[in-house]
Amino acid sequence: MIATIRRTIRLAPPPWLRLSVSILLGACAVACGIGLMGTAGYLIARAAERPEVLSLSVAIVAVRFFGLARPLARYIERLASHDVALRLLARIRVSFYERLEPLAPAELDAYRKGDLLGRMVGDVEALQGIYLRGIGPPVVCLVVAAAAVGVSAAILPQGAVVLGCGLLLAATVVPLVGWRLGRAAAGSAAARGSLTAELVELLRGAPELVMCGAGPDALRRLGEGDRAVARLSRREGLAVGVTDGLGIAITGVTVAGVLAVAAAQRSAGEIDGVMVATLALLSLASFEAVGPLPQAARELSSTLAAASRVLDIVDREPRVCDPAEPAPVIASRPTFALEHVTARYSPAGPAVLEDVSITLAVGRRVALVGPSGSGKTTVANLLLRFLDPVEGRVTLDGRDLREHRQEDVRRLLAVGGQNSHLFSTTIRENVRLANPDATDAAVEDALRRARISDWVATLPDGLDTLVGEEGGWLSGGQRQRISLARALLAARPVVILDEPTAHLDPETAEALMDDVLSALRGKTLLLITHRSEGLERMDAILELDGGRIVSDTRRGGAPATAE
Amino acid sequence: MRLLLAADVAIGCGTALLVLVQATLLARIIAGSYSGSTLADLRPLLGLLLVVFAGRAGLAWAFEAVGRLAATSVLSRLRLDLAARRFADDPAALDGAQSADLAAAGVYGATALETYFGRFLPQLVLAAVVPVAVLLWILPIDIASAAIMLVTLPLVAVFMVLVGGYTAQRTRERANALGLLATQFMGVVRGLPTLRAFNRSRAQTEVIAERSDAYRQATLGTLRVSFLSGAVLDLAATLAIALVAVSVGLRLDAGRMTLEPALVILILAPELYLPLRSLGALYHASADGVAVASRLLSASEAPPAGRTRARRPPSLRDSVVRLERVSYAYPGRPVPVVSDVDLALLPGEMVALVGPTGSGKSTIASMLLGFTAPTAGSITVGGVDLAVCDLDTWRASVAWVPQHPTLFRASVAENIRLGRPAAPVREVHAAARLAGADAFIRDLQRGYDTMVGDGGRQVSAGQLQRIALARGFLRRASLLVLDEPTANVDRESAGTIVDAIAGLRGSTVLVITHAPDLAAVADRVVEVRGGRVAQARARAVATA
Closest residue on chain A to B48 (Cα): A256
Closest CA relative to residue A257, chosen from A275, A283, A282: A283
Q: Is A557 left (phi over 0), alpha (psi -120 to 50) or beta?
A: left
B46 to each of A294, A492, B36, how far by Cα in Å? 27, 86, 16
* Of A148-152, A162-166, B515-519, the least confident: B515-519
Domain co-membership, A309 together with A344: no
Largest CA distance in chain A: 114
Q: Is residue A323 part of a domain?
A: no
Closest residue on chain A to B205 (Cα): A94
Please tell me whether residue B143 adopts helix, strand or coil conformation. helix
**Beta-carbon count within 10 A of B210 CB:** 11
Q: What is the CA radius of gyration of chain B?
A: 35
Q: Tell me, what's the pLDDT at B5?
A: 79
Q: Mind listing the pLDDT tens digit for each residue in A203-261?
A: 777 878 888 888 888 888 888 888 888 888 778 778 788 888 999 999 999 999 999 99
Q: Mind listing the pLDDT tens digit for each residue in B419-450?
A: 888 889 999 999 998 888 888 888 887 888 98
Angle at which helices A157-204 and B39-88 cross, to 10°? 10
Name the range with the highest mean pLDDT among A352-356, B177-181, B540-544: A352-356
> Is B46 within 8 Å of A203 when comparing Cβ atoms?
no
Domain co-membership, A295 together with A352: no
Q: Tell me, what's the pLDDT at A558?
A: 46
> Is B57 within 8 Å of A252 when comparing Cβ atoms?
yes
Residue A478 has pLDDT above 50, yes or no: yes
Higher pLDDT, A164 or B462: A164
Q: Tell me, what's the pLDDT at A233?
A: 79
> Is B192 within 8 Å of A104 when comparing Cβ atoms?
yes
Domain co-membership, A385 together with A523: yes
| pLDDT over 70, % of chain B | 86
**Amino acid identity, position B407:** L
Domain co-membership, A257 together with A205: yes
Domain co-membership, A235 together with A112: yes
Backbone angles phi, psi at A14, to 5 degrees: -75, 165
- Third-level CATH fold of B321-543: Rossmann fold (3.40.50)
Domain co-membership, A271 together with A196: yes
Higher pLDDT, A113 or B209: B209
Task: Sketch the domain layout of chain B as residue ranges.
Answer: 1-140+284-305, 143-256, 321-543
Higher pLDDT, A165 or A376: A165
> Between B103, B198, B392, which is nearest A213 by CB?
B392
Q: Tell me, what's the pLDDT at B542?
A: 38
Higher pLDDT, B249 or B494: B249
B193 CB neighbours in chain A (<8 A) are: 104-105, 386, 419, 421
Distance (Å) from the alpha carbon of A79 to chain B's nearest alpha carbon = 7
B451 CB neighbours in chain A (<8 A) are: none
Distance (Å) from the alpha carbon of A356 to chain B's nearest alpha carbon = 22
Residue A394 has pLDDT above 80, yes or no: yes
> Which of B87, B205, B452, B457 to mutate: most A Cβ within 10 Å?
B87
B355 CB neighbours in chain A (<8 A) are: none
DSSP annotation of A387: S
Q: How does the average pLDDT of chain B come out, rounded?
A: 82
A101 CB neighbours in chain B (<8 A) are: 192, 196, 201-202, 205
Closest CA relative to residue A517, chosen from A483, A556, A474, A484: A484
B305 to each of A416, B89, B298, how far by Cα in Å? 52, 10, 17
Distance (Å) from the alpha carbon of A238 to chain B's nearest alpha carbon = 5
Domain co-membership, A157 together with A287: yes
Q: How far apart are CA B483 and CA B362, in angstroms?
A: 7
Domain co-membership, A167 together with A214: yes
Asked whether the beta carbons of B442 and B472 are under 8 A apart, the reply is no
Q: Is A333 left (phi over 0), alpha (psi -120 to 50) or beta?
A: beta
Higher pLDDT, A302 or A10: A10
ipTM of the complex: 0.79
Please tell me whether residue B375 adopts helix, strand or coil conformation. coil
% helix, strand, coil for chain B, step of 5: 65, 10, 25
SS (H, E, C) B241-282: HHHHHHHHHHHHHCCCCCHHHHHHHHHHHHHHHHHHHHHHHC
Q: Tell me, what's the pLDDT at A562?
A: 42
Domain co-membership, A41 together with A99: yes
- Mean local confidence (pLDDT), A333-352: 88
Q: How far apart are CA B534 and CA B361, in angstroms?
A: 12
Distance (Å) from the alpha carbon of A562 to chain B's nearest alpha carbon = 25
**A528, β-bridge pairs:** A368, A498
Q: How does the average pLDDT of chain A come out, rounded?
A: 85
Q: How many domains would you assign to chain A?
A: 2
Q: Is residue A329 part of a domain?
A: no
Domain co-membership, A466 together with A433: yes
- Mean local confidence (pLDDT), A349-376: 87
Q: Tell me, what's the pLDDT at B276?
A: 81
Asked whether the beta carbons of A219 and A226 are under 8 A apart, the reply is no
Containing structural domain, residue A450: 336-554
| pLDDT over 90, % of chain A | 33
Domain co-membership, A502 together with A373: yes
Q: Mind listing the pLDDT tens digit for each residue in B519-543?
A: 888 889 998 887 788 777 665 443 3
Q: Can you give the CATH number for the domain in which A426 is found? A: 3.40.50.300
Q: What is the CA radius of gyration of chain A?
A: 34
Higher pLDDT, B357 or A543: A543
Closest residue on chain B to A243 (Cα): B61
Q: Tell me, what's the pLDDT at B111?
A: 67
Distance (Å) from the alpha carbon of A39 to chain B's nearest alpha carbon = 9
From the number of C-beta atoms within 10 Å of its C-beta (0-12, 13-18, 19+), residue B3 rates as exposed
Residue B307 has pLDDT above 60, yes or no: no
> Between B38, B212, B471, which is nearest A89 by CB?
B212
Q: How far apart are CA A5 and CA A227, in angstroms?
A: 36
**B351, β-bridge pairs:** B510, B524
Q: Tell me, what's the pLDDT at B93?
A: 56
Q: How far apart are CA B499 and CA B434, in angstroms?
A: 9
Indicate the pLDDT class of residue A557, thresholds 50, 70 and 90. Answer: very low
Q: How far apart are CA A12 and CA A337, in angstroms?
A: 41
Q: Tell me, what's the pLDDT at B335?
A: 75
> Between A121, A207, A434, which is nearest B92 by CB?
A207
Q: Mind listing the pLDDT tens digit for each residue in A521-543?
A: 889 999 998 777 788 889 999 99
Q: What angle do CA B357, B361, B366 make, to 5 degrees?
A: 130
Closest residue on chain B to A246 (Cα): B57
Asked whether the beta carbons of A298 and A179 are under 8 A apart, the reply is yes
Q: Tell me, what's the pLDDT at B274?
A: 83
> Between B60, B208, B258, which is nearest A244 by CB?
B60
Closest residue on chain B to A269 (Cα): B36
For A96-110, the DSSP string reads HHHHHGGGTTGGGGG
Asked whether the beta carbons of A467 and A474 are under 8 A apart, the reply is yes
Domain co-membership, A354 together with A268: no
Closest residue on chain A to B234 (Cα): A71
**B350, β-bridge pairs:** B509
Distance (Å) from the alpha carbon of A18 to chain B's nearest alpha carbon = 14
Please tell me whether residue B301 adopts helix, strand or coil conformation. coil
Please tell me whether residue B452 adopts helix, strand or coil conformation. strand
Closest CA relative to residue A166, chosen from A243, A245, A247: A247
Closest CA relative to residue A474, chosen from A459, A496, A489: A459
Distance (Å) from the alpha carbon of B410 to chain A's nearest alpha carbon = 11
Q: Which of A283, A314, A345 is the last residue of a domain?
A: A314
